[in-house]
Every structure is written in structure tokens, then in C-alpha cells.
Amino acid sequence: MSKVKTPRFHISKRGIIPRRQTWLIRGAAIVLALILCAIITTMMTGLNPVKVYTTIFEGNFSTSRRIWVLMQNIAILLAISLAMAPAYKMRFWNIGGEGQVLVGCLATAACMIVIGDKVPNAVLIIIMLIAAVAAGAVWAFIPAFFKAKFNTNETLFTLMMNYVGLQLVAYYVIVWEVPKGSGKIGIINQATQAGWLPQIGSYKYLLNILVVAVITVLMYIYMNYTKQGYEIAVVGESENTARYVGINVGKVIMRTLILSGAICGLTGFLLVAGTNHTVTTTLAGGRGFTAVMVAWMGKFNPVAMIFASFLIAFLEQGASEISTMYSLNQSFSDILTGIIIFFIIGSEFFINYKLNFNKTGEKEAQ
């Protein structure tokens, strides 16, 4: 026989595979990632792997306060992810969530500082809300406008806008710093609590969580059942087709990004008015970027995104608990998050493709 070498395997596209199986593959990837994370943690801390996860679990659920913090983190991350989802569905690579949230924060804080004592609280909150939403929307609209008019690369544009926004916040932090020279604003309207969102009962985070829950439902309906949502899907799949059926692509891009930015701005409003009552350059804390990964992991489906943001927030809080207990650096959670996302990203391959092994007569059981 000939001694010709055949490649050991080659890759081909899968047909349609059942939904359940896709989630099984993703689940397996997460489990593998968690195992690897446990191994790494054990190497760093000497903990046994079971203990690692008990610690992570405890970090999230051991006290009701921790549970609330977890919920709040999920809510904020989910809110930004929801803002990203329609843009990404349209294949508009908005990685400017960070900047859009920050300018929302800044606008909220600005209202609190400048007109905090001049108008009734209810009016103030409405003005803050409008300002934050408008600021976020403008921040996203600028790159969208140039994308629509001149096809300017939006990935790079939105990325740059993050830093313009960040420096703008840095500027105002110094302008409004209290006390002078401290380099931070501190709690705004500590005494009057003007512009602070009301608490529901004794639950500090409940209002934020409820607002985000409402946004999630609305976004789900918007993307799946409305004409605008359908237009977004068509533009995302094929701009030519969209033009052909009379969809004004530029208009849809701008409209969607205004929505995307507005939700980011709203999230900024929740962060400042609802919980932090101050603004710093790190208030968004990289969640603008993490949200991109969440939206993508959830396949731009708001329901799946709830789980994705839960996973990320859960791990971050758990890793931070490990860090505190074993006086490791807080950045430990970033490493774990990175690993989990690598696995989930990688697992998509096994959903879309299959490996065919070329052993004679053998076929991979699919």
C-alpha cells in the first residue's frame, strides 16, 4: 500500500445541532474552566480545590449583605451588557461602554453638585436622569454618526471615546474636588442627600436591581418582537438587504446606538445616584469591557445574559474573597475571569464545527 500521509483530522462545519447540546458544551467548558481555576488557586494559596470553591461560594452567599452586593454587581454588569446587545446584534462593535457609562456618571454628579440645592429633590432626580441618559446617548451617537455617514471604524472610534470620557471625568474630579487637593470628589450632598435615589425599605440596592430587571424584560421584547428590533437584526445580517427593503441603515445605526448609549448613561445614573453618590474615573471599573464579553457569551439574548453576568460577578466576588482571606492581590479575580472567558470562547468552536478523524473506517460519533 502507499505510504501517503493523510492528515490526522480535519475540521468541518456542523449542521444544526440541538439547543440542549449547545448548552451542554458551554456547561462543560465552564466546568473545565472552574477546575483549571481551582488548580491555579491551589497552586497560589495551597488551599485544597474544594475549599477554594467553598470560599468562593461563601464570598458570595455567606451573609445577606454579600448576596445584595452580588445582586447589585450582577445588575450593573447586566445593564451595561443589555446596552451593548442591540449594537452588537447589528454588528456594530461598540467597545465604548466604559466611556458611555462614565459620562452618564459625570452628568449625574454634575447635576447633583451644580443644582443640588436649587430645585426640589424629585425634579432634581428627573433632571439627573435626563442628563445622564442624554450624555451616554451623545457619547455613543458620535461614533455612530461617523459610522453611518463615512463608515468610520467603530471599534477603534468607541475605544478612543472611552479615554476622552475618562479624561473628562478626571478633569471634573479636580474641578469639583472636596477638599481641595484631595484629588477626589467625595460623597456628594452627604448632608442633604439631594439627588440620592430613595431606598426601598432598608434595601440599598433593591431599586437598582428592579430597574435593571425592567430593562431586561423591555430589551428582550424590543429585540425579539418589535419592528425596530427586526430592523436591527436585518442590518446586522446584511446591510445590502436592509437597503433593498428600504431600511435606512444609517438611521438604524444611529437610533440603536443612541439607545445603547442611553442605557449606559442610565447605568451611570444608577451608580452615582443609587449607590456610590460620587464619581471617580474608576467607577465603571472595566465593566464596559466585561459587558461586551457578557453580551457575547449570552449570544445577545437578554435571558442568557443574566446567567453570563451572574457567572462573572459571582467569580469576581468569590475571587476577591480568596484574595482577602489569603492576602493575595485583588487582581486575582481578573485572572480567573480571563480563564473562564477563554474557555467559553473556545467552546463555541465545538458548537459550530466538528473534528473529523481520518482513521480508516472510523467516524467520529457525533
Q: Does 332 bind another protein (CB under 8 A)?
A: yes
Residue number, 62 or 153, with CB nearest to another protein: 153
Q: Does 203 bind another protein (CB under 8 A)?
A: no
Of 175, 200, 214, 303, the one binding another protein (CB under 8 A) is 175
H, E, C per residue of 17-77: CCHHHHHHHHHHHHHHHHHHHHHHHHHHHCCCHHHHHHHHHHHHHCCHHHHHHHHHHHHHH
Of 61, 289, 299, 301, the one binding another protein (CB under 8 A) is 289
Q: Does 245 bind another protein (CB under 8 A)?
A: yes
Q: Does 333 bind another protein (CB under 8 A)?
A: yes
Q: Does 8 bind another protein (CB under 8 A)?
A: no
Q: Does 186 bind another protein (CB under 8 A)?
A: no
Smallest gap from Cβ 63 to another protein, in A, equals 26
Residue number, 134 or 161, with CB nearest to another protein: 161
Of 35, 50, 62, 163, the one binding another protein (CB under 8 A) is 163
Q: Does 167 bind another protein (CB under 8 A)?
A: yes
The residue type of 303 is: V
The CA distance from 7 to 155, in Å, is 38
Q: Does 243 bind another protein (CB under 8 A)?
A: yes
Q: Does 342 bind another protein (CB under 8 A)?
A: yes
CA angle 274, 81, 105 (to 5 degrees): 35
Residue number, 53 or 146, with CB nearest to another protein: 146
Q: Does 179 bind another protein (CB under 8 A)?
A: no
Q: Does 225 bind another protein (CB under 8 A)?
A: yes
C-alpha cell at 64: 445577606
Q: Does 93 bind another protein (CB under 8 A)?
A: yes
Q: Does 22 bind another protein (CB under 8 A)?
A: no
The CA distance from 238 to 331, in Å, is 40
Q: Which DSSP helix (H) or strand (E) runs through 3?
A: none
The CA distance from 241 to 82, in Å, is 26
Q: Does 304 bind another protein (CB under 8 A)?
A: no
Residue with cell string 451644580: 114
Of 95, 129, 215, 252, the one binding another protein (CB under 8 A) is 95
φ, ψ at 355 (rounded to 5°) = -90, 135
φ, ψ at 354 (rounded to 5°) = -135, 150
Mark residues 343-362: x for contact with another protein by CB under 8 A, - for none: --xx-xx--xx--x------
The CA distance from 140 to 147, in Å, is 11
Q: Does 23 bind another protein (CB under 8 A)?
A: no
Q: Does 139 bind another protein (CB under 8 A)?
A: no
Mark residues 261-280: x for contact with another protein by CB under 8 A, - for none: --------------------
- On whether the CB atoms of residues 309 and 294 are closer than 8 A, the answer is yes
The CA distance from 176 to 319, in Å, is 34
Q: Bridge-partner residues for 354, per DSSP?
A: 12
The CA distance from 276 to 188, in Å, is 9
Residue number, 118 or 363, with CB nearest to another protein: 363
